[in-house]
Amino acid sequence: MFILVVAIFLVAGLTPWLHRFLPRTAVWWIAAFVAGAFAFCFSLTGSVLQGGSISSTLDWIPALGLSLSFHADGLSLLFAVLILGIGFLVLLYASKYMSGHSRTGGFYAYLMMFMGSMIGLVFAGNLLLLFVFWELTSLSSFLLIGFHHDRAESRAAALQALLVTGVGGLAMLAGFVMLGLIGGTYEISALLTQGDAIKSNALYGPVLILILCGAFTKSAQVPFHFWLPSAMAAPTPVSAYLHSATMVKAGVYLLARLHPVLGHTDLWFSIVPVAGAVTMLTGALLAFVQTDLKKLLAYTTISALGTLMLLLGFGTVWSLKAAMVFLVVHSMYKGALFLVAGAVDHESGTRDLRLLGGLRHFMPVTTAAAVLAALSMAGLPPMLGFISKELLYEAKLHAPSFGLVITVLGVAANMFIVAVAFMFCLKTFFLGKGEFPKEPHEVPRLMLVGPVVLSFLGLSIGLFPDDLADRFIGPAVSAIRGETTEISLGLWQGINPVLLLSILTVAGGLVLYSVRSRFVAAHDRLGLARVQGPSRWYDTLVDGLPVFARRTTGLLQEAPLRGHLLVVLLAGFAFVGTVLVLRTDAARLPVIPSVRLLDVVLAAAMVGGALFLVVTSSRLAAVVALGAVGYGIALVYTVFGAPDLALTQFAIETLSVILFILVMQHLPEFRKLSGNGSRARDVLVAAAGGALVTALLLLTVREPLWSHLAAFFSAKSLVLANGRNVVNVILVDFRALDTLGEITVLGIAALGVYGLLKLRLRDEERT
């Protein structure tokens, strides 16, 4: 699994060069790799049929509890198969959809990075590693959503998705850290065995809230749902992939994975099912009034994500079974419908339902795929969507609480979804005659593979669902529950309340479809589209940030630099001095150690130089006084047996004095910029600071200064680095990267100075 993740990212990095040298066949090589990865993950399903798992761990940063731990069980493999399988179809589709674009190689690289991030996320066996991949999905989706970066709409949508999911991810990270501290480990497999202890901990509430922030933002739960429709600014292959199998399902995966640790508490039941129900109904209602095919599908995705959260919130066997089946169903029909929407836009020049109609005459194969996918979306037999809808109703009827209310809300939301499915299919392909910006025709064959395969799978699995139940659904539910669970699926369950609810849903959907024009007219008349919701709150916050920054800067930066320095020093003195007084008992009061005459002479020389520095009116005398202080410090190093440091100090002070003298001759004379009162205040502040630092140093020397590092460096310098000068060995070997960084900074500064001097010489030559 580790090799698989690394290989996907490696392919992502090599893709631009591969496309540059093999522009015609690069996508085939990439697709072949993804197909091989899919076959590998599919082959692993045999090992987890009875609730087993496969794990591998490689230590990364053990001191932080961070390891490259990967874990494959029924849940992660279900997601991996969907991610890789649909990713393969999206690549084939994109090979024609993106044909001729100047940055196709970059697009494939971003798509592979997105795929690798999701695969790493679902296989991650460590919370911190999961967070790394979680943020990589946000970064890669930012690049994909903003792929058309020359359009303001794409840039704004990409930034919105990154900010919303990024803020949620940071909150989630805090929850992960707290969860790891409670459980004593960041390994997910170990945490799953401590569910009762974690739920009884006082920090359980904050942990749950923080993790839910990450899951809700990523999976577009109300009120964070607004970023998902905006993400339709991305190319259609991205939309299809993002909605069907990848980013938006990450929050669902997270709650399913941590269900044994966080689920089945009063706080869980009061948040997760409620948020899911609100999102389910909100997405369905908003989808019903849309006219853009992609936005219509985007809002139905929000409704579907709400349904999944609702089912995970229940946590019963019925709800988990329904959630996993609905996850598969939604991935198939939503992927197919998004690819169909892209095909319609690609060939007719529009996605507006008001301009579409009668496309079945021009795009017969696309029409067939759309019909099958829409039937599955509407939950009609013999599609897998019909089985899923019956399972949804069964789970809602068996809800732990408020089963009747949840069922009514579910039926209402599904009625709108049925109406949307009919809208998508009938208005686009059958009814009326469209007003197309360009003459439509059937799409290239490679753009048909994805919609046809996904819609046909919905039909074939609906007719024969046993293999899906045995190979995927059963192991996934077992992984969530932590115990083996047998799952069976069937197309016909007899005449029962669930079937009657399904019939009622379809009938209600047809009624809503027939009155949609009146519904939309009332919606427009009431001005509901102009109601300021979460998206407006987001805009207000983003627009207000620069205003807040300017006002804050104006408030804090009006004073001169010495005023800022004074505030910082006084605050530091107050805090440190207060702690020093409160934490230091009489027995540990500073005691001046014994001193020698030489120490007194050196100290007096440095104090005298410092006093002369602040009273002199000559810049040259000030430089000399400052040098005297520096040379005094070098002599202190010599007295206390550090000749190498003394030599360094002598060299630095000599160079500093020379440079100061060279510069000082170009500066104006000293001017009096402050009054006597300000100077007296500065004297008091400086004296307080000196006294505080002196007290801290005297307290420090009373403590034992023996260190394990001193013994280690003394013992290892000659053995490991072949150096007898311990200080030099530390700088050159043990802290080599630190020293390299310092040298790099100096080198860059030198290049900058050289560039400025060269620019000045050129200006002088021109004049």
- Every domain of the chain and the residues it spans: 592-670
- Phi, psi (rounded to 5 degrees) for 446: -65, -25
pLDDT for 721 equals 84
- Give residue 598's pLDDT: 84
In the three-class reduction of DSSP (H, G, I as helix; E, B as strand; rest coil), residue 103 is classed as: coil
Rg from Cα positions in the chain: 34
DSSP labels, 426-458: IIHHTSS----SS---PPPHHHHHHHHHHHHHH
Spatial distance between the Cα atoms of 753 and 767, rounded to a whole number of angstroms: 21
In contact, 72 and 78? CB cutoff 8 Å: no
Alpha-carbon distance of 386 to 502, in angstroms, equals 8
- In the structure encoding, which two tokens stand for residue 260, read together? 């044994």
Q: What are phi and psi of 316, to 5 degrees?
A: -85, 170
Q: Which long-range contacts (CB under 8 A, 24 or more apart) does 406-409 make?
A: 406/273, 406/277, 406/310, 407/501, 409/277, 409/280, 409/281
Report the alpha-carbon distance of residue 179 to residue 65 in Å, rounded: 13
**Regions of the chain short of the pLDDT cut 70:** 49-51, 63-65, 526-532, 558-559, 585-593, 665, 704-705, 761-767
Please name the amino acid found at residue 635: L
Phi and psi at residue 315, to the nearest 5°: 75, 15
Which residues lie across from 70 on neighbouring strands? 56, 124
* Cα 686 from Cα 709, distance rounded (Å): 34
What pLDDT, on a 0 to 100 scale, did the predictor assign at position 45? Answer: 84
At which residue do the structure tokens 């379809």 appear? Answer: 506
Closest CA to 503 of 418, 429, 433: 418
**How many whole angstroms separate alpha carbon 154 and alpha carbon 147?**
7
Q: Is the distance from CB of 128 to CB of 186 less than 8 angstroms?
A: yes
| Count of residues making up the chain | 767
* 418, 420, 423, 424: CA torsion to nearest 10: -110
Structural contact between residues 329 and 388, judged by C-beta atoms closer than 8 angstroms: yes
Q: What is the DSSP letter of 583?
A: H
Q: Are 372 and 425 in contact (CB under 8 A)?
A: no
Q: Contact, 280 vs 310, CB < 8 A?
A: yes
In this structure, are residues 729 and 717 in contact, taking their beta carbons and an 8 Å threshold?
A: yes
In order of 83, 258, 460, 756, the CA distances from 68 in angstroms are 21, 19, 39, 47
Q: What is the 3-state secondary structure (H, E, C) of 452-505?
A: HHHHHHHHHHHHCCHHHHHHHHHHHHHHHHCCCCCCCCCCCCCCCHHHHHHHHH
CA gap 633, 645 in Å, rounded? 10
CA distances from 4 to 9, 27, 34, 131, 523 (A): 9, 19, 10, 18, 50
Q: What is d(CA 208, CA 267) in angstroms, rounded to the nearest whole number?
A: 8
Each as own residue / partner, the long-range contacts of residues 743-747 (CB below 8 Å, 24 or more positions apart, any chain) are none
pLDDT at 617: 78
253-257: long-range pairs with CB below 8 Å, 24+: 253/75, 253/79, 253/121, 253/122, 254/130, 254/172, 254/211, 254/214, 254/215, 254/218, 255/212, 255/215, 255/309, 255/312, 256/75, 256/312, 256/320, 256/323, 256/480, 257/75, 257/76, 257/188, 257/480
Residue-level pLDDT at 588: 57
pLDDT value, residue 392: 93
Contacts of 133 (CB under 8 A, 6+ apart): 117, 118, 120, 121, 124
Owner of token pair 């023996």 = 706
**Which contacts (CB < 8 Å, 24+ apart) does range 760-766 have?**
none
- Res 765: pLDDT: 67
**Which whole-number Å values give the CA distances from 633 to 436, 603, 648, in the listed order?**
84, 9, 11
Structure tokens that stand for 87 in this block: 């990713």
Please give the Cα distance from 164 to 293 (Å, whole number).
Answer: 24
Structure-block tokens of residue 113 = 């990075």
SS3 22: coil
Tell me which residue of 206, 229, 227 sits closest to 217, measured CA to CA: 227
